[in-house]
Amino acid sequence: MSEIDRVLSLARAEIRALKAYEHAQWRPELERLHANESPWPPISSSDGLARHYYPEPQPTALVAAMAAYYGVDADQILLGRGSDEGIDLVTRAFCRAGEDSVIVCPPTFGMYAVAAAIQGARTLSIPLREHFQLDVPAIVAALQASCANTPKLVWLCSPNNPTGNRLEPSDIRQVIEAARGRSVVIVDEAYAEFDATPSWIASLAQHPHLIVLRTLSKAHGLAGLRIGAVVAHRALVQLLRKIIPPYALPCDSARWGTIAMQPPALAVTRERIDCLRRERERVRVALSSSPLLTRVWPSEANFLLVDAYDGGLVLDRLAAVGLIVRDFRGKSGLGESIRITIGTPEQNDRIIRSLS
């Protein structure tokens, strides 16, 4: 055994065996339509940041602005590095290694299962049913099976990634009710701005075991600054504050995030959301007749999931016009599936031309 192998053998076996989350492929020579980012940069601003000082642990101005935007009190918000940090914090706070479990509903965002594996918690997989909707009876049965083995967390993503659809609100409500007194339900609303249905934030007062994740990465165009929010009962926020690293957000993120929450920037964001919704429908309709695709799934997010006869051919066609999209072939029960982020009208024209 080499010296480095001896060092690696000291790590937890489940970490050594862990299959890491597969982030979007990095190809700088291609334009990015694979990570569900905004196609536009944020609103520009003059800079006067004192980067030689540590940033404020929970930036007061940004917390206040986001609390106003989401319609909650400031003590119901915990800011972190994107939704990923919220996923990690919740998993570490509630799951004991080797003892607890979480429910995930694939195909869905991969970080829920990755965070559980890193923590040493078991993952109970309850796949989505027809049209990518929740298997409510199976989830309820898992929650009610045994008090000793009840999953601690239930992860729901709506609109769901990578499928793009909204989970039926009545199904989510049934899961929340079944979990009362047993488990914490987390609804990941990373794509909520692109969906017309109300946020589950409005239900927090009635359901203290509910947590909602939000982000400025998608609709607000700040993916590079990693600004996410856990929105929950103030007691849960206080609990998670115990384990969040100090100075979670750099001063750049706090400043840009606060600017993004002000009326001038929000007005531009609303225009861009409307544009992306129109473009999403335009691309969906155009691709529905593509000879390369078997199905274009309906979407309430800023992307489309498409099923292809030959996913590799679709990837090659789009790369040939300078676009990189996300390859989901064979993952989480999907077949020849490709996820395409909605870009600018010009980029979307290239998508349509290359696949028609």
**Predicted confidence (pLDDT) per residue in 149-183, tens digit:** 789 999 999 999 999 999 999 999 999 999 998 89
Q: What's the pTM?
A: 0.89
Of 13-22, 205-214, 249-258, 328-337, the one with minimum mean pLDDT is 13-22
Q: Is the pLDDT of residue 352 over 60?
A: yes
What percent of the chain clears pLDDT 70, i.e. is strictly above it? Answer: 90
Tell me whether the omega of the peptide bond preceding residue 159 falls within 30 degrees of 0, making it cis. yes
Tell me whether the omega of the peptide bond preceding residue 107 falls within 30 degrees of 0, making it cis. yes
Residue 330 backbone zone (phi > 0: left; psi -120 to 50: alpha; other: beta): left
Smallest CA-to-CA distance from 143 within 160, 126, 168, 167 is with 126
Count of residues for the chain?
Answer: 356
Give the pLDDT score at 39: 85
- Rounded distance between C-alpha atoms, residue 275 and residue 39, angstroms: 11
Domains and CATH numbers, the chain: 3-40+267-355 (3.90.1150.10), 60-263 (3.40.640.10)
Residue 177: count of CB within 10 angstroms of its CB: 12
Residue 29: count of CB within 10 angstroms of its CB: 7
Contact 246, 96 (CB under 8 A): no
- Rounded distance between C-alpha atoms, residue 131 and residue 251, angstroms: 42
What is the H or E stretch that residue 157 is in? strand 153-157
Distances in Å between the alpha carbon of 298 and those of 116, 293, 331? 30, 14, 19
Of 15-19, 29-33, 36-40, 64-68, the one with minimum mean pLDDT is 15-19
Beta-bridge partners for 186: 155, 211
Contact 190, 218 (CB under 8 A): yes
Q: What is the pLDDT of residues 188-243, one digit of tens each?
A: 999 999 999 999 999 999 999 999 999 999 999 999 999 999 999 998 898 888 88
What is the H or E stretch that residue 210 is in? strand 210-215
Residue 116 CA, chain-centre distance (Å), reads 16
β-pairing, 326-327 vs 337-341, is antiparallel
Structure token pair of residue 10: 């000291």
- Rounded distance between C-alpha atoms, residue 183 and residue 59, angstroms: 30
Q: Judge residue 267's burial from the number of C-beta atoms within 10 Å of its C-beta, 0-12 exposed, 13-18 middle, 19 or more buried.
A: exposed
Give the pLDDT score at 12: 58
Torsion on CA atoms 186, 192, 214, 111, rounded to nearest 10: 60
What lies within 8 Å, CB to CB, of 245 at 6+ separation is none
What lies within 8 Å, CB to CB, of 349 at 6+ separation is none
Alpha helices in the chain (DSSP H): 3-8, 13-16, 60-70, 82-94, 111-119, 136-144, 169-179, 234-241, 251-260, 263-287, 311-320, 345-355
